[in-house]
Structure 1
Amino acid sequence: MKSKKSIIIITMLISISLFSVGCADKIEEKIGNKIGEKIVEKATDGEVDVDTKDGVSIETEDGSMKTGENLEWPKESMGSLPKPKATIINITDLKEEDSTSVILNFDKKNGGPNYMEKLIDMGYIQRTLNKSNDSVMYMGVKDDNTAVIFSYQPEEEYGSITLSRNNDAAKEYFESKDDEKDEEPIELDMSESMDWPEDSMDDIPPIKAQISSVSLNNNNVSIGFKNIGREDIASYIEEIKSLGYDIDPMETIMDNVLSYTASNDKDRSISIRWTDNEGNINYNKQ
């Protein structure tokens, strides 16, 4: 039902905007706003205020949404999160999820790139990081049971910040940390390992893991591996980066998932994916 309401809301808001833009003067604009308000109120069972100059606001039993050209930072809802150097264009509060989301346009100088660092300095612990030249998505948790999701598109200076209060993922993380034990070293049985295809891998060094499969197909090499821990695969990825594989990078960092894809200046690419102590490497020479 909520998904259906959301679709209705978005459709109605677009209709409102188009209707209002087409109004010939202020009187017709106000009439258009009032008609739009009644339509969305009926669809959402909520209070709606439409103003083509200041934006749109919707209040329902499930939460609220506000759009505008330069909204105020919702300090009370966002807790201790620092106010970003940005223009805020949307604020959404969801009661059931106990969360607040802000959509914004960052300042070109010291806007988006520095905000993730501020979150880390505040004590947020990274749980997920997806990054490329086009976008960054970070999710962190804090011991006050809050979780924050920060996304940013550098080229467009566009992003969003979502704060989730009383977050289950945050609670579970810190509860599990109390019982966490040091990672035991993995014993490699290299007698069952296949040989590293050195002649086909150019400058790519062997991985310190048990090689479970090797596939050679024209200019593509695919290698399966297992029995390698998170620290070792993370070090291996950093070694690959240092060899010049840092063009158009895409990287995902999670507790039990690490992946990295990039090219070098010779148009050769490598993709590494690791999940729960095993994974694969794809090396393409084209």
Structure 2
Amino acid sequence: MKAIRVTVVLLVIVMTFSLCACRKVEEKIAEKSAEKLLEKAMGVDVDITKDGGKVKVDGGVMEVGENLPWPKEAMGDLPKPEGKIKFVMEDEKAKNCTVTIAEFEPDDAAKYINKLKEMCIEGGNLSEDVGLTIFRGDTHKNASIYLHYSPDDKEGIIIYYPEGLGNSAYTPNTAADGDNY
């Protein structure tokens, strides 16, 4: 009788692992099929996982997920903010990296902005309006930083130009005659 119980328990465990393994195989097959379809349609390198996805195209990488790692190399000496990183885009042509942070609490955002101020020449520029905080600064190492923060959504976007905006493909309109659109 004991041998039958042990056998049944072992059989249930083996069947459970088998079902889990089959599901993982099915998920992997679906991921690979979607990757191949996107790669063929868009001509880019795609990597899809259960946690998110990564696309590589023309010297750039875009990654989406629930809690991505901080792109330390692409973000220079910027400290990692509190919150969850949901989006990372490294663009070699524009020479920048963009990171989106979710669950970025207002107190944590204020502390992070203070750290950025310390890194920037003359403390950078801070602009606050209802529902939006914008920080822009140039570091002592000639890098440029933008931070857009929405306390209502608890989301922030950080854009880092390691070579500063003067060497970037993106240069904001700085017309002195008032024709900024």
Q: What TM-score do the two structures reach when normalised by structure 1?
A: 0.47
Q: Deviations over 1:3-51 (max 9, x none)?
A: xxxxxxxxxxxxxxxxxxxxxx555533332232123212443221101
| Contact 1:125-1:142 at 8 Å conserved across structures | no
Aligned counterpart, 1:119: 116
1:152 to 137, 149, 152: 149
**Number of aligned residues:** 151
Q: Give the secondary-structure state (helix, strand or coil) at the position aligned to 1:110.
A: helix
Q: Percent identity?
A: 30
Distance 1:102 1:67 in 2: 10
- The alpha carbon displacement at 1:143 in A equals 3.4
5+ residue gaps in structure 2? 1-22, 169-173
- Please identify which structure carries the higher strand content: 1
Aligned counterpart, 1:58: 55
Summarize the alignment of residues 28-107 of structure 1 with structure 2, pairs less than 5 Å apart: 28-51=26-49, 53-107=50-104
Task: Tell me which of the two structures has the higher relative contact order, counting C-alpha pairs closer than 8 angstroms and 6 or more residues apart.
Answer: 2
Q: What TM-score do the two structures reach when normalised by structure 2?
A: 0.71
Instruction: Give the AA of the match of 1:115.
Output: Y
Instruction: Give the AA of the match of 2:152.
Output: E
Given the superposition, is the C-alpha separation of residues 167 and 107 from structure 1 closer, same or farther in structure 2, using an over 3 Å criterion? closer
Aligned counterpart, 1:166: 163
Instruction: Give the AA of the match of 1:82.
Output: P
Distance 1:75 1:142 in 2: 16
5+ residue gaps in structure 1? 1-24, 172-254, 258-274, 277-286
Instruction: Give the AA of the match of 2:101.
Output: L
Aligned counterpart, 1:108: 105
Distance 1:116 1:107 in 2: 12
Larger radius of gyration: 1
